[in-house]
Amino acid sequence: MIDIDEFISNNFNFFQKSLAELIAKKGVSSTGEGIEDAIEYVQLLFSKLLNTETKILKTNGNPAIYASIPGESPFTVLFYGHYDVMSPDPVDKWNSDPFKLTEKDGKFYARGIGDNKGQLIAQILGMYSYLKLHKKFPFNIKFLVEGEEEQGSVHLPDVVKEYGDALLNTDLVVVVDGSIHESGRPVLRLGNRGLICFEIRVKTSDFDSHSGNAGNIVKNPVILLNKIINKLYSFDKDCIIIPHFYDDVLEPTDLEKKWINAIPYDKSSVEKRFGISNIKFDKQEYYNLLMFNPTFNVSGIYSGYSGEGTKNIIPSEAVAKFDIRLVGKQNPSEIMSNIKKVVQEFSPFAAIQEFVSYPPTMTDSNSPYIKTAIKALETASNKKVIIEPVMAGTVPNYVWTDILKKPTLTIPYANSDQNNHAPNENMDKCAFINGIKSSYYLIKEFAEDF
């Protein structure tokens, strides 16, 4: 029997053609352009390559696609991905047509090639390869492919709750999305930070006022906004002072510290990546700050006049936008409630609007699935796996860990410089091939261990 490398080599033209066809279907979730075409093509892939029919799960937005493929044992793995992509704008910054797969210098270029169509089709092709080489699957495989990930997965919790009976019958969830380490080594992520996004708007009058004529009479909204911020964050102590904010922050375990210590760390590389200099963090502090510490960020603030020269006015309103990253067992609803209490102290001038909130998630560091996943990824890549206890960013994995109550592993296939969400998004050809092999070996190794 031929091995997986030979099979991929023999069939790569077909694999690349399938990838190009999926890219061409667009599927821009912000505008709806090509959504139906993308859905139809993903359904075709499941039917043609995996011999299974799909079910469309309707939402109040773009539908999700569900597939269930029976195997020989009752062990079941649910694989998650998304078919939607970001808008390609600004198109004039691209070096090629964003919806035409272009190969150059060992990279594929296209909108969605890294995030997430290349990774999605690598999963499907890896399983197709397994099916062709072994004739049948050793355990049950399920797929949930959503169409709103690039819009915050706003309806994914509703989908999981509504169709929970079908999804609950699974032992493990595998999320294939994100980027591998910049060293080229594969990554296994066990959790991610949570997120709260909100806006505070302070309005003190119906229109801007002359600062002389109205000074001391009309309140300045910028000053009031600063007073609110000072009740949320201490600039003197450089810490968050929202009541009970730190109650559920957890320290990393000894095992998690060991994993962190094994992650490559290059100060100069960090400085270059973030555009800063003279970074003073050592490895443990750097990763602790990214994985196990919450953040308080003012992402935008505006009010009044900011043009040339001066304009002596009291602005009528001031607005600030915030995002807070959560860790451990912090509860976004409780934290948001305490923030609202602070803002209410400044009523009727201040109002708050909440945009999105996700709780942090974490899969048990002692899960038996971790060892098997590591073995699969290292066999596929011939490189040592980097284990990240927590991803610094935020993805909606709480739907799997908190709603489905299932352990969840996040396994990225795309290269670290994929430029997702930006012009000239790309995926290394080798990364694409390795994603196919990784999917193949995940099936193979989980079959042997479970």
Q: What sign does the dihedral 2-433-371-170 (CA atoms) show?
A: negative
Half-sphere exposure of 404 (CA within 13 A, CB side): 31
Q: Is residue 286 part of a domain?
A: no
Q: Is residue 281 part of a domain?
A: no
Whether residue 237 is found in the same domain as residue 142: no
Closest CA to 425 of 41, 95, 111: 111
Q: Is residue 274 part of a domain?
A: no
Neighbours of 33 (CB within 10 A): 17
Whether residue 244 is found in the same domain as residue 337: yes
Q: Is residue 341 part of a domain?
A: yes
Task: Quote the tokens at residue 96.
Answer: 């090629």
Q: Is residue 268 part of a domain?
A: no
> Which residues form the domain of 209?
194-250+292-358
The CATH number linked to 90 is 3.40.630.10
- Helix (H, G, I), strand (E, B), or coil: what is residue 52? coil
Helix 4-24 to helix 35-50 angle (10° resolution) is 160
CA distance 179 to 383: 15
Q: What sign does the dihedral 263-264-268-274 (CA atoms) show?
A: negative
Closest CA to 167 of 157, 153, 181: 157
* Number of compact structural domains in the chain: 2
Whether residue 22 is found in the same domain as residue 166: yes
pLDDT tens string, the chain, 450 residues long: the values are 789 999 999 999 999 999 999 999 999 999 999 999 999 999 999 999 999 999 999 999 999 999 999 999 999 999 999 999 999 999 999 999 999 999 999 999 999 999 999 999 999 999 999 999 999 999 999 999 999 999 989 999 999 999 888 787 899 999 999 999 989 999 999 999 999 999 999 999 999 999 999 999 999 999 999 999 999 999 999 999 999 999 999 999 999 999 999 999 988 888 888 889 888 889 999 999 999 999 999 999 999 999 999 999 999 999 999 999 999 999 999 999 999 999 999 999 999 999 989 999 999 999 999 999 999 999 999 999 999 999 998 888 999 999 999 999 999 999 999 999 999 999 999 999 999 999 999 999 999 999
Whether residue 374 is found in the same domain as residue 311: no
CA distance 186 to 191: 16
- Helix (H, G, I), strand (E, B), or coil: what is residue 106? coil
Residues forming beta bridges with residue 362, ordered by sequence position = 191
Whole-angstrom CA distances from 52 to 62, 128, 192, 435 are: 22, 11, 32, 21
Q: Is residue 325 part of a domain?
A: yes
Whether residue 364 is found in the same domain as residue 426: yes
Where is the domain boundary, 358, 393, 416? Answer: 358
Whether residue 215 is found in the same domain as residue 114: no
Whether residue 32 is found in the same domain as residue 176: yes
Provide the pairing of β-strand 239-240 with 172-175: unpaired
Where is the domain boundary, 358, 382, 416? Answer: 358
